[in-house]
Structure 1
């Protein structure tokens, strides 16, 4: 069953949408913790997200940007804001569509179905899925997934990009500056520690699929993938 996640702080609207959408065979989750929307998203893994803009703590634009770092699932903004700039901001921050309040539930369902078809169904782009394979290690960038010897784990978008860079340069070194520019090319300055933190997360993901010591630090240069070390855990 396809899952829809609703992030709306007006519980009357959220409950109304949930009841209406469920009638069409979808499984619906309403987010209740507005300070940890991304955690709920990771737990639910929805096929589509309905997202309000005006939320406690952080607005919908912020949460859409966080989600876009690790998922390409359709995001439909629902908001009482009617200005053209609000709709532009929604799309610029990663949204796929925009619905203004008050809305008719049939319009919401039509837009949900449209986005589902484009993302997963008859209108989805037909192309061969990209897979990077080196010595039995397989990365699926579109799925944000990596596998090795029947072990599979999910990745964030940043983790997938790092692993892709390491695989593309394997067995050569991927330079630190190259990784920084590829992963954060939209930012003027990124703390070096940010890359270190993401490399640590990548190492943990390799451990989850049974590969120890997969990412070697090459002092003064960058990082190198050592898939040949995979047999250490066999």
Structure 2
């Protein structure tokens, strides 16, 4: 099920968009704090973003550029400012499409579905995994929290991806070692412990301190 983030400060328009998206079987979330759009993006980990240009505090161009620093997720601008220059600026900031207000919800939904098909059905699933306020790009081995990012080793990337995929649930040490064996590298209990320790240290460097919990004698979990 695709998740769509709606960044629209007009409550009436936002509610109508969310309701229509949900009627098609998608999950939709409207940003509540327009100071923390990137934080809510990371926490929700959507497959598509609907982004207004005129927003409180920072405009849509700003947030598009911030999202593009951590994600290639498709972005559709929705705005009453439909002059050619605004469209050019939206595309230059990293937007994939532009819908001018007022718009028909069925037309908006058609654009959403078309962009989702182009992005995921033809190009494969996204490499992004979000949980607990962090976003992991498994393709580039980069983990992000807020505006801070750090590159992981391949083993650290596999460990974190497995924990985030099972967020909130225990992952046994055996499961994690099996995931590391996919690289054809020999991994024993000590190697796993060393990699988890290094991963925790890197996460701490970007302000993430308690994401990974140890369940002694059992394994680890992302919380």
* Bin for the TM-score computed over the shorter chain: 0.5 to 0.7
* Residue in 1 that maps onto 2:123: 124
Distance in 2 (alpha carbons) for counterparts of 1:2 and 1:212: 29
1:151 and 1:143, CA in 2 relative to 1: closer, same or farther beyond 3 A? closer
* Pair 1:211-2:198 in alignment: yes
1:77 CA displacement: 0.2
Could you say what secondary structure the match of 1:33 adopts?
coil
Distance in 2 (alpha carbons) for counterparts of 1:60 and 1:115: 19
Structure 1 residues 11-30: aligned runs within 5 Å: 11-30=11-30
> 8 Å contact 2:138–2:161 — kept in the other structure?
no
* Residue in 2 that maps onto 1:33: 33
Could you say what secondary structure the match of 1:4 adopts?
strand
Aligned residue pairs, count? 151
1:31-60 superposed Cα distances (whole Å, 9 cap, x missing partner) = 010000000001000000000000000000
> 8 Å contact 2:14–2:30 — kept in the other structure?
yes
1:81 CA displacement: 0.6
Could you say what secondary structure the match of 1:34 adopts?
coil
* Pair 1:148-2:135 in alignment: no
Structure 1 residues 133-144: aligned runs within 5 Å: 140-141=138-139, 144=142
* Pair 1:77-2:77 in alignment: yes
1:141 CA displacement: 3.0
TM-score by length of 2: 0.61
> 8 Å contact 2:155–2:195 — kept in the other structure?
no
Could you say what secondary structure the match of 1:152 adopts?
helix
Structure with more contact order per residue of length (Cα contacts < 8 Å, sep ≥ 6)? 2
> 8 Å contact 1:118–1:125 — kept in the other structure?
no
* Residue in 1 that maps onto 2:100: 100
1:143 CA displacement: 7.2
**Structure 2 stretches lacking a partner, 5+ long:** 128-136, 144-151, 163-193, 203-223
* Residue in 2 that maps onto 1:7: 7
> Highest CA radius of gyration, 1 or 2?
1
* Residue in 2 that maps onto 1:44: 44
Please identify runs of 4+ aligned residues in structure 1 that moved more than 6 A.
212-215
Could you say what secondary structure the match of 1:29 adopts?
strand
State the superposition RMSD in angstroms.
Answer: 2.8
